[in-house]
Amino acid sequence: MKRKYIAAAVMAAVISGISVYGQSKSFKLGQWVEIQNSILKELNRSYVDTLPVDRIMRAGVSAMLENLDPYTIYIPEEENEDLQMMLSKTYGGIGAIIFKDKEANVVINEPYYGSPAWKNGLRCGDEIVTIDGMPTKGLEAKESSDRMKGKPGTTVNFKVVKARSRDTVDVAIVRERIHIPDVEYVGMLDDTTGYIAQSGFTDKVSEEIRTGYFKLKEQGMKRLVLDLRGNGGGLMNEAINIVSLFVPKGSLVVSSKGIAPDTYKEFRTTSEPVDTLIPLIVMVDSGSASSSEIVAGAIQDLDRGIIMGKRTFGKGLVQTVRPIAYNGQLKVTTAKYYTPSGRCVQAIDYSHRNEDGSVGHIPDSLTHEFKTAKGRTVRDGGGITPDVEVDAPSYSRLVYSLVLNGIIDRYVIQYAREHDTIPALASFRLSDEEFEDFIKFAKTQEFDYRSSARTLFDQMKEELESDGLAGDMKEELAALEKAMEIDKEDFIRLKKDEIVPFIEEELAVRYYFQEAGIQVRLRYDSQLKEALEKAGAVKI
Q: How many CA atoms lie within 13 A of 161 on its CB side?
A: 12
Same domain, 426 and 387: no
∠462-467-471 over CA atoms, to 5°?
Answer: 75
Of 351, 371, 392, which marks where a domain is finished?
A: 392
Answer whether residue 16 shows pLDDT above 70: no
Which class for 320: exposed (0-12), middle (13-18), buried (19 or more C-beta within 10 A)? exposed
CATH number, domain with residue 368: 3.90.226.10
Same domain, 295 and 198: yes
CATH number, domain with residue 126: 2.30.42.10
> What is the spatial distance between Cα 346 and Cα 301, in angstroms, rounded to a whole number?
16
Question: 458-462 — which CB contacts under 8 Å span 24+ positions?
Answer: none
> What is the spatial distance between Cα 328 and Cα 58, in angstroms, rounded to a whole number?
12
- Give the lowest-confidence range in 66-70, 272-276, 285-289, 391-395: 66-70
Using pLDDT thresholds of 50, 70 and 90, give the confidence band for residue 362. Answer: confident
**What's the mean pLDDT in 126-144?**
94
Same domain, 443 and 386: no
Which class for 77: exposed (0-12), middle (13-18), buried (19 or more C-beta within 10 A)? exposed
Answer whether residue 206 shows pLDDT above 70: yes
Same domain, 263 and 371: yes
If DSSP codes are grouped into helix, strand and coil, which group holds residue 427? helix
Domain that holds residue 420: 397-451+486-531
User: Could you tell me if residue 261 is inside a domain?
Assistant: yes
pLDDT at 18: 46
Question: Do the beta carbons of residue 138 and residue 129 sit within 8 Å?
Answer: no
Q: Higher model confidence: residue 502 or residue 464?
A: 502
Using pLDDT thresholds of 50, 70 and 90, give the confidence band for residue 1. Answer: very low
Answer whether residue 520 shows pLDDT above 60: yes
Residues 6+ apart with CB under 8 A from 441: 407, 410, 411, 414
User: Could you tell me if residue 82 is inside a domain?
Assistant: no
pLDDT at 484: 87
Same domain, 234 and 157: no
CB atoms within 10 A of CB 347: 23
Interhelix angle for 236-244 vs 291-301, to 10°? 30
Same domain, 200 and 284: yes
Same domain, 383 and 424: no
Most confident by average pLDDT, 9-13, 38-42, 388-392, 472-476: 388-392
Partners of 211 in the beta sheet?
Answer: none
For CA atoms 206, 208, 214, 220, give the dihedral sign: negative
Most confident by average pLDDT, 12-21, 23-32, 270-279: 270-279
Using pLDDT thresholds of 50, 70 and 90, give the confidence band for residue 357. Answer: low
Considering only CA atoms, which of 20, 60, 21 is closest in space to residue 39? 60
Question: Do the beta carbons of residue 226 and residue 282 sit within 8 Å?
Answer: yes
Same domain, 377 and 420: no
Residue type, 524: Y
Would you give the DSSP letter of residue 394?
P
**What's the mean pLDDT in 125-144?**
94
Residue type, 33: V
For residue range 306-333, list pLDDT tens digits in order: 999 999 999 988 888 889 888 888 989 8
Percent over 70 (pLDDT), the chain: 91
> What is the spatial distance between Cα 140 and Cα 195, in angstroms, rounded to a whole number?
39
Of 155, 177, 199, which marks where a domain is finished?
A: 177
Considering only CA atoms, which of 367, 305, 386, 372 is closest in space to residue 339? 372
Answer whether residue 30 shows pLDDT above 90: no
Question: 320-324 — which CB contacts under 8 Å span 24+ positions?
Answer: 321/83, 321/87, 324/74
Considering only CA atoms, which of 85, 88, 109, 90 is closest in space to residue 98? 109
Same domain, 356 and 266: yes
Using pLDDT thresholds of 50, 70 and 90, give the confidence band for residue 536. Answer: confident
pLDDT at 11: 44
For CA atoms 123, 124, 129, 134, give the dihedral sign: positive
Tell me which residues are annotated as active site: 290, 301, 315
pLDDT at 471: 85
User: Could you tell me if residue 137 is inside a domain?
Assistant: yes
Considering only CA atoms, which of 311, 307, 330 is closest in space to residue 77? 330
Question: Do the beta carbons of residue 178 and residue 151 sit within 8 Å?
Answer: no
Answer whether residue 177 shows pLDDT above 50: yes
For residue range 238-255, list pLDDT tens digits in order: 999 999 999 999 999 999
Question: Do the beta carbons of residue 156 and residue 173 sit within 8 Å?
Answer: yes
User: Could you tell me if residue 260 is inside a domain?
Assistant: yes
Kindly report the backbone phi and psi dihedral angles of residue 130, in degrees, each rounded to the nearest multiple of 5, phi listed first.
Answer: -140, 150
Same domain, 425 and 491: yes
Of 177, 198, 216, which marks where a domain is finished?
A: 177
- For residue 462, the Cα-to-chain-centroid distance in whole angstroms is 35
Euclidean distance between the first and final Cα of the chain, in Å? 70
User: Could you tell me if residue 142 is inside a domain?
Assistant: yes
Considering only CA atoms, which of 164, 156, 175, 241 is closest in space to residue 203? 241
User: Could you tell me if residue 436 is inside a domain?
Assistant: yes
Question: Is beta strand 223-227 parallel, antiparallel or unpaired with respect to 193-198?
Answer: parallel
**What's the mean pLDDT in 516-529?**
97
Rg over alpha carbons for the chain, rounded to the nearest Å, is 28
pLDDT at 77: 81
User: Could you tell me if residue 235 is inside a domain?
Assistant: yes
> What is the spatial distance between Cα 68 and Cα 58, in angstroms, rounded to a whole number?
16
Average pLDDT of every residue of the chain: 90
CB atoms within 10 A of CB 411: 22
User: Could you tell me if residue 311 is inside a domain?
Assistant: yes
Partners of 377 in the beta sheet?
Answer: 371
Same domain, 368 and 409: no
Question: Do the beta carbons of residue 124 and residue 510 sit within 8 Å?
Answer: yes
| Structural domain count of the chain | 3
Same domain, 148 and 99: yes
**What's the mean pLDDT in 158-183?**
95
Kindly report the backbone phi and psi dihedral angles of residue 229, in degrees, each rounded to the nearest multiple of 5, phi listed first.
Answer: -65, 130
- Rounded to two decimals, the pTM is 0.87
